[in-house]
Structure 1
Amino acid sequence: MSTSTPRTAVLAEPGPPAPRRRPGRVFAAVLCTLLGAGMTGAAGYEAVAEHRAAHRPLAADAAYRKAASLWRATPVDTLFPPVLDGRGAGPGGADRTWTRIALAPDADCPAALSADWRALLAPAGCTRVLRATYTDATRSSLVTVGMVFTPADAAAMQGLRGRFAAPAGYGFDDDRRAAWTSSVLPEAPVVVYAVSAFNDGRTLDAPRPAEDLMRQDATGPAARAGLGHETKAVADRVERAVRALAAPPAPEPTR
């Protein structure tokens, strides 16, 4: 009778016992995850809110009041660019270019304005006056352009429209003044003005409004030299810079 050796089954060694989950640790981990997500979400919301607040346009009256401080908050080359482009600004649409040749320190109103301007501005108040002088490419003319900043509200400034006389120049005497212009800005408590002269030092009878010298039938050396056009064009370009700085930014498009 034959016999066979029985096969022994090979058993795997038992592994380490599975870790037991403790309810307290699980809860803490979930809580940390939720808190982290909440803080991240809050930070993201705060960043978006700050971005929107920074780019939210100011109300018109707030923007108007803020513009009263442009004289001290804006780089001088922004208010008075070193070079002004006068494309199409000369008589008959001729191109012009003006280079800044003199820049006055910001001044108190009594030191920079004539007596009639000071009297007119007295009810509204006067904060500061900025001035610069430009010359054309041929250096035959001079144009002083100025900004008068006031603390007045829009209603008081509107009452000043059309009441100013010829302003004082900067770098030339009053008897050399040729053409002048002034405007009260609707976006800011600022009066922008300009007054021109011949660079050769000649004296003139009296300064004339730039608009009068720009008419086709205007006569006299200042009209023939285009000083009315130059005076108005220089003032307009500086005025545009102030308006762009004072106007509230356009709202961002909704996404």
Structure 2
Amino acid sequence: MKNRRSSTGLPRAEGESAQGRRNPLGAATGRRSRVRTWQGANSRTRTEARKRAEIQSLQQGVRYRRVFVLVVGFVITVSSLVVLLGTVGLFFETRSRPLTAAEQDRYKQEEIARRWQAWPATSVFPEEVKYFGLDRAQQYARRVGIAPETGCVKGLDSPLGGILQEHGCLTLLRATYIDQTASFVFTVGVAVLKDEEARVSVTDELTQDDRVGVLPVAFPGTVADRFGADQRQRTSWVGAGPYVVFTTGGYADGRTRAAVPPEEILHSELWPAARSIGNQIAYFLADPPKVPPCTQGNVC
């Protein structure tokens, strides 16, 4: 049988399989090739590019870290400076220093304004009050009793109570006294305003009518048990600080105003005593306190 030529031009043996015909080198088709595969020529280039990218990323991170450290350092510096300035300012603000004239005046006003609360009732209305009778004779009135706090409308005649209510009267304190001879009875009422300015506004509107004023307080079982509105002979008031001090007086035997001749009221020792007692209590409440020379006491 004649040999046939393969597509490569080489003669092929008869009986050669189709798989053998596809391998011109004659190697078996089922065997793995022993030829070693080599890396491409651009592998080194890719490696170097990757390294450069890593280096650039690391350098960028270092730059960001430096910026972050600078920003944090700046913030800390500014915060420290603010704290330092605040500490210095607080020191100069709170350190002891001499009081200014305005501060001294405010200290006096605040001290006087809180006396009606800070003081006990027995200090607002002392047990004995000095007064002057006829011919300026010095005598002492004795306290009979202290009434509970009441509203200004309830403790004063309606014309006066309404005026004080409009100007924000806080409360009314009252106590009753008897003179040294036990002949006269007096009720003193302290109307408390929020400040001296309000008190001035009130006193500008108050009437000088001596028939209206504070309502008397009677204490049963005492020499003042018959002292009521009809027994009032005269009334008056005086302003002191944020207070309006009202005073009224009458006879201990219960005589009414209508039962006493007008000339007797005008010339009686009762009225000088009543006004003197009211003025004394007003003086106690508004007496200017001793002001410390410095903001933190006596040492600047």
Place the TM-score, normalised by the shorter chain, in its bin.
0.5 to 0.7
8 Å Cα contact 1:129-1:147 kept in structure 2: yes
TM-superposed deviation, 1:62 = 5.2
Letter in 2 for 1:127: L
Deviation at 1:151, TM superposition (A): 1.6
- The 1:242–1:51 alpha-carbon spacing in structure 2 relative to 1, beyond 3 Å, is farther
The CA distance in 2 between the partners of 1:75 and 1:235, in whole Å, is: 18
User: Can you give the 5+ residue segments of structure 2 that lack an aligned partner in the other structure?
Assistant: 1-94, 219-226
**Would you say 1:132 and 2:179 are equivalent positions?**
no
Unaligned runs of 5+ in 1: 1-48, 208-217
Match of residue 178 from structure 1:
233
2:250 maps to amino acid: A
The answer to whether structure 1 residue 199 and structure 2 residue 244 are counterparts is no
Instruction: Tell me which of 28, 43, 60 is aligned to 2:105.
Output: 60
The share of aligned pairs that are identical, in percent, is 22
CA distance in 2, matches of 1:190, 1:206: 33
Q: What residue in structure 2 maps to residue 95 of structure 1? A: 138
In the alignment, is residue 235 of structure 1 matched against residue 282 of structure 2?
no
**Could you tell me how far 1:57 is from its partner in structure 2?**
9.1
Contact 1:57–1:251 (8 Å) recurs in 2:
no
**Amino acid paired to 2:127:** P
Deviations, residues 154-210 of structure 1 (Å, cap 9, x unaligned): 1x322322524421222222221112210122xx21101110000110111399xxx
Aligned partner of 1:225 in structure 2 is 268
Distance in 1 of aligned mates of 2:257 and 2:195 = 35
Give the TM-score taking structure 1 as reference length. 0.64
Q: Work out the CA distance in 1 between the residues paired with 2:137 and 2:200.
A: 33
Structure 1 residues 109-143: Cα deviation after superposition (integer angstroms, max 9, x where no partner): 23322211121113311111111111012111001
Aligned equivalents of 2:169 and 2:254: distance in 1?
31
Aligned residue identity for 2:174 = R
The structure 2 residue matched to 1:157, chosen from 174, 199, 203, is: 199
> How much does 1:102 deviate?
1.6
Q: In structure 1, give the amino acid aligned to 2:135.
A: G
- The alpha carbon displacement at 1:250 in A equals 3.9
Q: What one-letter code is carried by the residue in structure 1 that aligns with 2:116?
A: W
Bigger Cα Rg:
2
- Measured against aligned partners, the alpha-carbon deviations of 1:201-239 in whole angstroms (never above 9, x if no partner) come to 0111399xxxxxxxxxx9622233311111111011101
Distance 1:58 1:74, change over 3 A: farther
1:254 Cα deviation after fit: 8.9
Residue of 73, 76, 91 corresponding to 2:121: 76
Match of 2:290 among 232, 242, 249: 249
> 2:41: which partner in 1?
none
SS at match of 2:246: strand
Q: Secondary structure at the match of 1:98?
A: strand
Q: Which moved more, 1:59-68 or 1:125-134?
A: 59-68
Cα distance in 2, alignment partners of residues 77 and 83 from structure 1: 10
SS at match of 1:84: strand
Say whether 1:117 aligns with 2:160: yes
